[in-house]
Structure 1
Amino acid sequence: MSPNATGHAPKFVGTAWGLLVLNTLGSAGARTIVPLPRSLIQMVTMGALVAAFALALVGNLRVRIRAGAFLFLLTLLLVPSVISSASLESGFGALFRCARLALFVGTLWLLSRWWDGSPTFVRHHIRMYFAVLGTVAAGAVVSPGAAMPELYGGRLVGVLWPLTPPQIGQYAAVITGLSVLLVLGRRTDRGSAAVVIVPALALLALTHTRTATLGLLAGLALAIGSLVLTSAAARRFFVGAVLCAAVAAVGFGSALQAWFLRGQSQENFTSLTGRAKVWDALLAAPRTTSEYLFGAGLGDKSFGGLPIDNSWLAVYHEQGMTGVALVAAIVVVLGGVALLRPPSLSRACAIFLISYCAIASYTEAGLGDASPYLLHLAVAASLLAAPAAADPLAAPQVARRRVPRPARRSEVT
Structure 2
Amino acid sequence: MDGASIRGGLPGGADTTGTESGTEPSSTGTPKAVWIVWALLGLNTLGSAGKTIVTLPRSLIQMATMGALVAAFALALVLNLRLRIRPSAFVFLLTLLLVPSVISSMHLEVGLGALFRCFRLTLFVGTLWLLSRWWDGSLTFVRYHIRMYFAVLGSVAAGLVISPGTAMPEYYGGRLVGALWPLTPPQIGQYSAVIIGLTVLLLLGRRATGASAALIIVPTFVLLAMTHTRTATIGLLIGLVLAIGSLVLTSAAARRFFTWSVLCATVAAVAFASALQTWFMRGQDKESFSNLTGRAKVWDALLAEPRSVPEKVFGVGLGDKSFGGLPIDNSWLAVYNEQGLIGVVLVAAIIIVLGGVALLRPPSLQRACAIFLISYVAISSYTEAGLGDASPYLLHLALAASLLATPAEATPLAPPAVARRGIPRRARNREVT
What's the TM-score bracket when you normalise by the shorter of the two chains? over 0.9
Q: Does 1:14 align with 2:32?
A: no
Q: Does 1:303 align with 2:323?
A: yes
Residue 401 of structure 2 aligns with which residue? Answer: 381
Change (3 A) 1:390 1:26: farther
Residue 166 of structure 2 aligns with which residue? Answer: 146
Compute the displacement of 1:401 (Å): 2.1
Match of 2:106 among 71, 74, 86: 86
Residue 127 of structure 1 aligns with which residue? Answer: 147
Which range moves more in the overlay, 47-56 or 3-12? 3-12
Match of 1:102 among 112, 117, 122: 122
**Structure 1: how far apart are the matches of 2:214 and 2:245?**
22
1:171-182 to structure 2, matched below 5 A, reads: 171-182=191-202
SS in 2 for 1:321: helix
Match of 1:54 among 52, 74, 85: 74
SS in 1 for 2:174: coil
Q: Does 1:24 align with 2:45?
A: yes
**Deviating 4+ runs (over 4 angstroms):** 397-400
Q: Does 1:401 align with 2:419?
A: yes
**Structure 2: how far apart are the matches of 1:399 and 1:297?**
62
Compute the displacement of 1:26 (Å): 2.4
**Structure 2: how far apart are the matches of 1:337 and 1:60?**
27
Q: Does 1:2 align with 2:6?
A: yes
**Structure 1: how far apart are the matches of 2:416 and 2:347?**
46
Compute the displacement of 1:250 (Å): 0.7
| 2:47 partner amino acid | G
SS in 1 for 2:6: coil
**Structure 2: how far apart are the matches of 1:316 and 1:150?**
33
1:8-407 to structure 2, matched below 5 A, reads: 8=28, 9-28=30-49, 30-390=50-410, 401=419, 403-404=421-422
**Structure 1: how far apart are the matches of 2:409 and 2:45?**
32
**Structure 1: how far apart are the matches of 2:420 and 2:357?**
47
| 1:389 partner amino acid | E
Compute the displacement of 1:404 (Å): 4.3
User: Gapped runs of 5+ residues in structure 2?
Assistant: 12-25, 425-433
Contact residue 146 and residue 195 of structure 2 kept, 8 A: yes
User: Gapped runs of 5+ residues in structure 1?
Assistant: 407-413
State the aligned residue count.
Answer: 403
The share of aligned pairs that are identical, in percent, is: 76
Compute the displacement of 1:391 (Å): 7.4
**Structure 2: how far apart are the matches of 1:289 and 1:138?**
50
**Structure 1: how far apart are the matches of 2:119 and 2:324?**
25
SS in 2 for 1:82: helix
Deviations 1:19-74 (A, max 9, x none): 0000000212x310001000100010000000000010000000010112111100
**Structure 2: how far apart are the matches of 1:193 and 1:399?**
51
**Structure 2: how far apart are the matches of 1:56 and 1:2?**
25
Q: CA RMSD in A?
A: 1.7
**Structure 2: how far apart are the matches of 1:304 and 1:96?**
21
Compute the displacement of 1:107 (Å): 0.0
Contact residue 47 and residue 184 of structure 2 kept, 8 A: no
| 2:162 partner amino acid | V
Compute the displacement of 1:98 (Å): 0.1
Compute the displacement of 1:188 (Å): 1.3
Contact residue 104 and residue 339 of structure 2 kept, 8 A: yes
Compute the displacement of 1:403 (Å): 3.8
Compute the displacement of 1:398 (Å): 7.4
Change (3 A) 1:391 1:207: farther
| 1:401 partner amino acid | A
| 1:305 partner amino acid | G
Deviations 1:197-244 (A, max 9, x none): 111100000000000000000000000000000000000000010001
| 1:75 partner amino acid | T
Q: Give the TM-score taking structure 2 as reference length.
A: 0.91
**Structure 1: how far apart are the matches of 2:102 and 2:420?**
61
**Structure 1: how far apart are the matches of 2:82 and 2:211?**
41
**Structure 2: how far apart are the matches of 1:313 and 1:388?**
38
Deviations 1:323-365 (A, max 9, x none): 0000000000000000011100000000000000000000000
Change (3 A) 1:404 1:295: same
Deviations 1:147-191 (A, max 9, x none): 000010000000100000000000000010000000101111111
SS in 2 for 1:257: helix
**Structure 2: how far apart are the matches of 1:229 and 1:176?**
23
SS in 2 for 1:63: coil
